[in-house]
Amino acid sequence: MKPYLWMTDFTPQTEWIDGKGALLWLAFFFSEIGAGVYMVSLFLGLWAGCLSGWLGCAILGGGFHMAYLGRPARAWRSILRPGSSELSRGIILMGLFLGLGVFQMAPGLVSGLPWEGNTLFFKIVLSILAFFVITHGFMTLSFMRAVPFWNSGIMPVLCLASGLWVGGQFTAAMAMGTGNFPLVATLEPVARWFLFAYMLLTLFYFWNAAHGFMASKRSVEVLLKGDLAPLFYVGIVGFALIIPLIITLYFCANPVDSARGLLWLRVFCALVGDLVLRYCILKAARYMPLIHSNLLTGAHSL
Amino acid sequence: MARWGMVINLHTCIGCYNCMISCKQEHFLPPGIFFSRVLVGEMGTYPSVLKLIYPVLCNHCDDPPCVDVCPTGATHKRKDGIVTVNPDVCIGCRSCLMACPYQQRSYLKRTDDEYFPGQGLTPYEAIGQELSPKEKGTVVKCNFCAEIVDEGVERGLTPGVDRQATPACVKACPVHARHFGDLDDPESNVSTLIRNKKATPLRPEHGTEPSVFYITTG
């Protein structure tokens, strides 16, 4: 971008996607999908699923978050401003989720503990905390008024749908891996609703952005016609929406163990598609031009 | 308590970059980092071309979005309206960079860059690293030369009027296009200019109440 385009054209955001910024994209993905896996597994009573989700959230999500920070040794300071900073609130809630998650999973690992992990208390409290962890990333983005593409109330809801859909698919993959097809069959009707919500919210988010501020319209243009178009059509339209939809429709009419390869393909598409969706949302974000047209009238010649 | 602000007269500015260079000198900024910039470009096609010169810097907003999103409190607004970053507290999350609609913040990826790569530090750079050490992995921005302003106020000087208490970019401007002063004082130089010349901030629709105003009319 030439210097003058910075003031007269829409500037792409780079800090949260290019170079080391890509670590934040991965951090959001793993922490949110991990929490989604945990939440779905918690209600199904799957201890291994809860552990996988917790590890994904803590090790991968937390690890990428720390690796992204410029001064990770001071990360503890990020809990100091929950009153105004969404990032601060998210970190606190993630800490509570991970801490309480240990207590919930401990009885499955150590026998003789004076409490049980599969209680209504844990289910309610940890579901609420998982909900906040799932929505944390997109909620942080939605608070950025400077980036109209992100500054949308649909973002947290889309994030929730994404966490549950992809988290549910990951849980189904674990069930398939252990040969537990009755569980996959139990999950299938729920997966349909998760996919339906995910598709609806994804389309609504882009439609809403295309009818919003100039900068968010430009972001949508970049996705539909610009550099990101191949990624958008293959990754989001193909992998995230169309292929899972076709497979899900197939399983509406056929039992889940009739085509196991398709189940694996759907899990793969859900993971890749959601990763691409998040990448595109971060990469397509644009700032408004710095110089407003009413000031341009006052600009002078040298 | 004063609320410091700046007025930049676009009809007087000649695009000499003196403000940019003096700012870099004052704060010993490493290569690629600018607190104050002069954006020069053109719009339109020949023969109807419009040359644009816009000096830009942190707007020290009265309602700064960068302060709200900072999870540590490293970015904070002082009582005199100056928005600063405490490098000892910043964790380098860059939320403030994302939140600033004016894109006036920079992330210090490295602090050991040399102005002449492979040639070692110049004596000036070496002194800068000693006098004004930078924290790698933190965010930096214009602070309205708070150290100069504070020292001047302590000595009973008036920033914007007395040179010893005035930000470097304002002092360096050879055509007096930049003016610094107290926005809360209706009789100050900046308040008078804003009133008489109908100065406006950049993109007021962001609702951040900037403290930097531009005179665009003759």
**Set of chain B residues whose Cβ sits within 8 Å of the Cβ of A20:** 109
Q: From the list A21, A79, A85, which residue is nearest B70 (CB)?
A: A85
Q: Per-residue pLDDT averaged across A118-126, rounded?
A: 93
For residue B156, the distance in angstroms to the closest alpha carbon of chain A comes to 36
A73 Cβ neighbours under 8 A, 6+ residues apart? none
Interchain contact A135–B (C-beta under 8 A): no
Interchain contact B175–A (C-beta under 8 A): no
Residue B110 has a pLDDT of 87
Among chain B residues, CA nearest to A88: B71
Query: What does the pLDDT look like over A21-44, one tens digit per residue?
Result: 999 999 999 999 999 999 999 999
Query: What does the pLDDT look like over B16-68, one tens digit per residue?
Result: 999 999 999 999 999 999 999 998 877 778 888 878 888 999 999 999 999 99
Is the CB of B50 less than 8 angstroms away from the CB of A301?
A: yes
Is the CB of A75 less than 8 angstroms away from the CB of B200?
A: no
pLDDT higher than threshold 50 for residue A298: no
What are the respective helix, strand and coil percentages of chain B, to the nearest 5?
25, 20, 55
**Set of chain A residues whose Cβ sits within 8 Å of the Cβ of B68:** 84-85
Distances B120 to B93, B110, B112, B117, B123 between C-alpha atoms, Å: 30, 15, 10, 7, 9
Residue A203 has a pLDDT of 97
Query: What does the pLDDT look like over B72-111, one tens digit per residue?
Result: 999 999 999 999 999 999 999 999 999 999 999 999 998 8
Is the CB of A146 less than 8 angstroms away from the CB of B98?
A: yes
Which domains does chain A carry? Answer: 3-296 (1.20.1630.10)
pTM: 0.92
C-alpha atoms less than 13 angstroms from C-alpha of A213 in its C-beta half-sphere: 18
Q: Please, which pLDDT band fits residue A302 given cuts at 50, 70 and 90?
A: very low
If 0-12 CB within 10 Å is exposed, 13-18 middle and 19+ buried, where does residue B23 land? Answer: buried
Interchain contact B127–A (C-beta under 8 A): no
Interchain contact A91–B (C-beta under 8 A): yes
Q: Say what the ipTM of the complex is.
A: 0.90
CB A290 within 8 A of CB B203: yes
Interchain contact A83–B (C-beta under 8 A): no
Q: From the list B10, B65, B72, which residue is nearest A80 (CB)?
A: B72
Distances B133 to A110, A256, B85, B87, B108 between C-alpha atoms, Å: 51, 63, 14, 10, 12
| Interfacial A residues in 3-22 facing B (CB < 8 Å) | 3-8, 11, 13, 15-16, 20-21
Query: What does the pLDDT look like over A177-235, one tens digit per residue?
Result: 988 889 999 999 999 999 999 999 999 999 999 999 999 999 999 999 999 999 999 99
Residue A297 has a pLDDT of 46
First to last CA, chain B: 32
